[in-house]
A and B are shown apart, each in its own frame.
Chain A
Amino acid sequence: MCLAVPMEVKHINSELNVADVEIAGVKRQVRLDIIDYPAAVGDYVIVHAGFALRRLDREDALETLKLFQEGLNLQVH
């Protein structure tokens, strides 16, 4: 029950405070009550128990990947 997954925001309904999200063909509607700053269509959000917890920071993800590669002295591709 504790599983949380990143899902892509497809549509936002600010009036109802919900977003339609999707990953690999699985669609859900999630509440936006506790997300700390607004997510936009196309963002990935971490979804848990019917709520969006947080927006995933893509720049940060890319930076982490770059560190992996540099740490291993690999060619960045």
Chain B
Amino acid sequence: MALNNASDTLAKFKDPVLCRNLLDKIRAELPGPLAFMEVCGTHTVAIFQSGLRSLLPEEIRHLSGPGCPVCVTHEGEVAAFLELARKDNVIIATFGDLMRVPGPKGTSLKQAQAEGCRIEIVYSAFDALALARKNPESRVVFLGVGFETTAPTVAATIKVAKEQGLENFLVFAMHKLVPPALAALLQDPEVNVDALILPGHVSTIIGVEPYRFLADQHGVPSIITGFEPLDILQALLLIIDQRKTGQPQVVNQYSRAVADDGNPKAREIMAEVFTISNALWRGLGRIPESGLALAGEYQRFDALTTLDVQVQDLPPLPGCRCGDVLKGKMQPTHCPLFSKPCTPATPVGPCMVSTEGSCAAYYKYAL
């Protein structure tokens, strides 16, 4: 194999000839209808962008699960960060995707910004530290959304803030954990999923073990997969194999990035700064032990207690079916609001806001 450097190696994972051959093999070996769910926003985008969705046989149904961090942010959490934004002397530091997520009254951070609230888009939690250093008279609140991939980056940032004695840096921890959400999803009798494609980069951190129950207790073939077309096609072939043998397993297809025991250093930092807590998920409700709250001496960085804001269990936005989309119960195009009035320019719910949201992906690639 004439691959001279790492970049050539990576390019090979998009090889069209190999893709075509894998697709032919899938077509030839598919034993019957198959509904698979990917549980990661990056997979959602990869499956659409690469054109795989339209190339797969019709018997393969693709569902997007609760893997878009912005989409699963609960209505009550959105209301809470909008409240934080309106506090005196507060600067909100956020990833850009959260800017246009509508709150219960239809307002968003973008509108709050237009009304004069100070909101800054950052690329990394670490950028928020620089913002706090530059604005010692204000309190900088970083909006911590994301799964096990993002949580360690925020934990590492909080540790540095503590080391540097930055008193005006706060975090609203909304991080969510993938395995408990998958457990909740598979316990829902209305959810029909034959197989799972597991999130590659969450797995980079947590490894393989936390997913074992998917095969052992629920009998669902589950593959940790990379994000190139060849990765996803190989995952589908592995699923088909398991269907044929009747032996569901958890398989790590993405071993070039995922060690079986994940990234222990990242988990250690996460465990030092956070403690496992209950969390509210859009569409899935309250799931025990599926979130992260600040632990011990790090609690002083908690934006909610410091600024006296509470997260309330608010009902879904009127008419918005993002919750059903996140559970794979409804395809985005079947939502009565889809494309009129809900569009990426005028989103009613978060699945149409985020680039990783399934509604936004359908709007962009499937219409």
Contact = CB atoms under 8 A, between A and B. Distances in A.
| A and B associate in one complex | yes
Interface of B: 1-3, 6-7, 9-10, 12-13, 18, 21-22, 25, 40-42, 45, 67-70, 95-98, 123-127, 145-147, 149-150, 152-153, 156, 159-160, 200-201, 204-205, 230, 234, 237, 253, 255-259, 263-266, 269, 354, 356
Contacts of A42: 6
A9 B136 CA distance: 34
A72 B354 CA distance: 37
Interface string A40-63: 001110101111011011101110
Contacts of A76: 1
Interface of A: 1-4, 6, 8, 31, 33-36, 42-44, 46, 48-51, 53-54, 56-58, 60-62, 64-66, 68-69, 71-72, 74, 76-77
A18 to B, nearest CB: 9
Interface of B is mostly: helix
Contacts, number: 149
Contacts of A35: 263, 265
A54 B7 contact: no
Given A3-B42, A53-B263, A33 B25 contact: no
Nearest to A18: B126
A50 B150 CA distance: 10
Given A2-B146, A49-B123, A65 B1 contact: yes
B356 A72 contact: no
B99 to A, nearest CB: 11
A55 to B, nearest CB: 9
Contact of A61 (B147, B152, B237, B256): B256
Given A8-B6, A57-B256, A57-B257, A72 B70 contact: no
B153 A34 contact: yes
A3 B356 contact: yes
B166 to A, nearest CB: 16
A61 to B, nearest CB: 4
Nearest to A52: B153
B18 A68 contact: yes
